[in-house]
Amino acid sequence: MSGRKVLVVDDDAKTVELVKLYLARDGYKVFTAAEGNEALAMARQLHPDLMVLDLMLPGMSGLDICRTIKNEFDVLVIMLTARTTEEDKLTGLGLGADDYVTKPFSPRELAARVRAVLRRLPEEAMLRGPAEIRRGDLTINFPNREVSIGGKSIKLTPIEFKILGVMARDPGRVFSREQLIEMVFGYDFEGFDRTVDVHILNLRRKLDAESKQIHYIKTVYGAGYKFDGSEK
């Protein structure tokens, strides 16, 4: 993972320097920003692989940055904040954040989270099996990480893309939350089960917005989720 670009955004200079020190030791190219608008401009210029993003920032909030940048290009995001309630976490995850670390935190733990998040989408895993899958009007192109319905492109986050790819490769199979966590997030994921629900909700909303006749992902109550593709 040496050479991956990480943008650390926090208005506390000591926090930034500490995080930068630990991540630089792991071989990452670390860039920093202390203000929301500056962070957004740097993200657009650098296209980092991952952002460590504080929620409470001057100029523009971390949530607004996450919402904006996730709609423009694929980037992994770890939220860094003093907010600890489950609802705050779900709000960040609902905007596409990939993990959540609360203050005060161990810089060693944060560095481990960065490594874990960057391992979730290895290129070789994304390219296993057919390069492209077609299910009705839905097309999934794995090398290009592109999804379309009826020829119209659907913008997905990296996690949403991987969830869809895993399920679409095995249509009809019911995946439990635990199985999806293992297959999508990895064994070392330390989040909570509702993380899966949030990503599934966002994914289903995006697919259903373009497909008026088909439900691609269905809930199997008490068991999990499956890729179906039946009529609504």
Block mean pLDDT (10 aa), the chain, length 232: 81 91 91 94 91 90 88 84 68 76 87 83 53 88 89 89 88 86 63 75 88 82 84 51
Q: 164 and 157 in contact (C-beta within 8 Å)?
A: no
Which domains are assigned to the chain? 5-119 (3.40.50.2300), 123-231 (1.10.10.10)
Q: Do residues 136 and 205 lie in contact, with contact meaning Cβ atoms separated by under 8 Å?
A: no
User: What φ, ψ does residue 188 adopt, rounded to 5°?
Assistant: -90, 10
Q: What was the pLDDT predicted at 50?
A: 92
| pLDDT value for 44 | 92
pTM of the model: 0.58
Q: What is the pLDDT of residue 3?
A: 65
